[in-house]
Chain A
Amino acid sequence: MATVPPAGGPVTAREELRAGPETAHNAGRPKAKSGRSPLHRGENLFGWLFVSPSVAILVLFMVIPIFLALYVSFTNWSGLTSPFSHSVQLVGLTNYRTLITKPGLYQTDFATSIRDNFYFFLFTVPLQTALALWLANLVNSRFLRAKGFFRTAFYFPSVTSSIAITIVFIFLFQGNGVVDSILGWFGVKGPDWVYDQSGVFTNILNALGISSPGWGNHMFIGLSLWNWVAGPSVGMCVVIILLVWTTSGTFMLFFLAAMQTIGEEVDEASSIDGATPWERFRFVTLPLLRPALVLVVTLGFISTWQVFDQIVLLGPQNPTTITPSYFAYQVSFQDSNFGAGAAVAFLLFCLIIFLTLLQRRFVKEDLTK
């Protein structure tokens, strides 16, 4: 069902890069003539022949499952029979309706998962991009010693198993765990991080004396407005910290690679022109990093909506950290309701496409300025 988004990642990435290094790479070559010489006649056929294994794999493991999942989202398939057996009935838009318009548990749960994931996305993408950029700038510095060590150290969280890291985080953040003990030194009583369901924004508003005003009771897709503006739960903050820390290493590498294509003479020239280090970074390095920045943000947009393994580990019953991809899994396997599960995945797919298009639009407008 949700097989589509990963394909989206590389494709967008490639398109973004097309404007950059690839064109530069091809620039020196003579242009191919429009009419093909006899020598190149078989090229087309061979081209297809060479790509056919990967095309076959893509069709078999991506295209067919996507269409099957789309079909399943319109059925009441239980997952225990063949999806084409006579016991499986087409139910039209029922699955989509129970998720979006029909009041009930699925509607509330789906809205909650979208909310939780939205705040996760809202905080993770800027934080991981900023941290990665800062780290890359740091390890790219000419004056830093033991660059290799620092590069490896910062990249390490990204190559470690996400399962192992998540388990370590659960131990660190458990009630009376390491983090709470350290907070205790400063006289702060830490929350029961992972299991704390309360939203960060509502906690702040409560502290300011605002609690559930009148407008907060209006319902919107199964959740009250007060619940919608609750912000990430304290439990979700742990996931945000975890994800920012683990992904920043990979993205640091992207930025580092891009930074190394910037010639030293550019830096020197700006220094001679009297630019301060900050101005150099802001007006020289950053604009030149634009393709890498777009790539990192795009990947961040997509991957934050697919977070799954950390969520599974944080506890299958943990209400503070439900994401649509986990919700799809839960509905499918726990409730034997693969139709609704596939519908969740497709709604998530549409959401990711929409957000990615939105992001690309903003980037384009910015470019024309």
Chain B
Amino acid sequence: MKRWKAITGLGVSAALLAMSASAATASSPTKLVGKTRGVTLNFMIASSGPAETNADKAAAVAWGNSTGNKVNVINSSNLTLQLTEAFSGGTPPDVFYGETPMFESMAKNAQLLASGPLVDPASDFYSSLVQAYTYDHTFYCVPKDSSTLAIEINTAMWTAAGLTNANLPTTWAKLAYDAKALTKGHVTGLVMSNSLDRVGAFFAEAGGSYMNKSDTGFAFNSPQDVQALAYLQGLAKKGYLKFTPGDGVNAGWGGEALGTGLAAMTIEGNWIIGAMQSDYPKIPYEVVPMPAGPTGKHGTLVFTNCWGIAAASKYTAAAVSFVKSLASPAQQLKFANAFGVMPSRPAVAQEWATEHTTPIATGTETPNVSAFVQGDAYALPQVATVGFATVETAFNNEIDGLASANPQQMLSSMQTNAQALLQP
């Protein structure tokens, strides 16, 4: 019967709604309401682990003590599901982790308080992150943190293959050379997840993008994007590049491939640091920026959450004050050190980078993070268009077979599917 729960849940919550017809009407976005002392805020998070949960709880207690309020921290294992239920039931949490895939839908339905400028001016944050949380020219929600992609290299394999610092993959040509040199026996030179969230970085390097210049439509079938996918296909055909899972590499993601010695190089975000420390402390690795494309352009992808405030909250004034404390420079540095996410403010990110400069990390060491931090300046944010997840899945399903596929055709069909989302 378990399978019914998820599906019936929606019907049931809808039924309950029908009866308690007191659906909360969205308050005017800029007007803050409610007391700022003696209130209890509900704060829904989707924690990556105990380190993050504890850091969030500590931040909540600190704000509560200094302002005379209380915060109830709710850790959700399925945030999308729980937030959807809470919003449709008219009782959303006051503050929550906003995720890119849900963002546009929330903004469109006036469920999200346009709280960005109320917390801090957009210029305080990386523009790629602000762009990710801007809808209809309104900066809706303050970026919580950021994660960018970089290349992680197993340095033991690197030196064994006779490669030196002069060979570091700073360009596509060098990356191809390194991947070839490192592919040996059961080791694949470069392994990455079979996802647009990895492949897309190469689009940016070739000078392409997800959206067109004026941001009015998609641009997946641009010559640059096709060139990027064709470049990856060249590597895949020769076996220097493999995708995971399902392309013959027995690993769930790039970090596992690197950690179990199946990959000499992988492409992952800064979340890999925690996994290498806890699961694969014996692997020595270094982090280098993504390569530059044929025109010398740098490119990577950025992933981010934001501090969402519900428009229906009764205490938006207190919620804004709470988010202000969460997004403050000092608190961002605390979060970064507690669980390895990158600060969303350039100034704080630079400071964090100066604290972690170990060139080759093993055990519980944190590697040089500057490769991740510098990516923030030019990274491409995820697509937030409602319904894009399905389009992306369809594309991802074809990546395992890239070696024998037609890149132009793959991108054209994604373009058609994505463009269909924009037509009502």
Query: Which A residues lie at the B interface, using CB under 8 A?
Result: 1-3, 6, 60-61, 64-66, 68-69, 72, 78-85, 87, 104-106, 108-109, 162-163, 174-176, 192, 195-197, 306-309, 315, 317, 319, 325, 328-338, 341, 345
Contacts and interface: CB of A to CB of B under 8 A. Distances in A.
Contact of A65 (B11, B106, B417): B11
B3 A307 contact: yes
B31 interface: no
A345 B88 contact: no
Contacts of B80: 333-334
B400 to A, nearest CB: 8
Contacts of B386: 78, 335-337
A315 B195 CA distance: 14
A72 B417 CA distance: 24
A82 to B, nearest CB: 4
B420 A72 contact: no
B7 interface: yes
A2 B4 contact: yes
A16 to B, nearest CB: 21
A195 B21 CA distance: 46
Interface of B: 1-4, 6-8, 10-12, 14-15, 17-18, 21, 23, 80-81, 84, 87-88, 90, 101-102, 105-106, 108-111, 195, 245-246, 248, 250, 386-387, 389-391, 393-394, 396-397, 400, 417, 420
A79 B84 contact: yes
B18 A84 contact: yes
B109 A80 contact: yes
B387 A335 contact: yes
A210 B63 CA distance: 69
A175 B250 contact: yes
A334 B389 contact: yes
Given A105-B420, A175-B245, 6 more contacts: A6-B1, A68-B18, A72-B14, A82-B88, A108-B394, A174-B250
Given A79-B84, A309-B2, A335 B10 contact: no
A176 B14 CA distance: 46
B246 A192 contact: yes
B11 A3 contact: yes
B84 A330 contact: no
Nearest to B12: A65
Most buried by A among B6, B17, B391, B400: B6
A328 B14 contact: no
Contact of B7 (A2, A174, A319): A2
A86 to B, nearest CB: 10
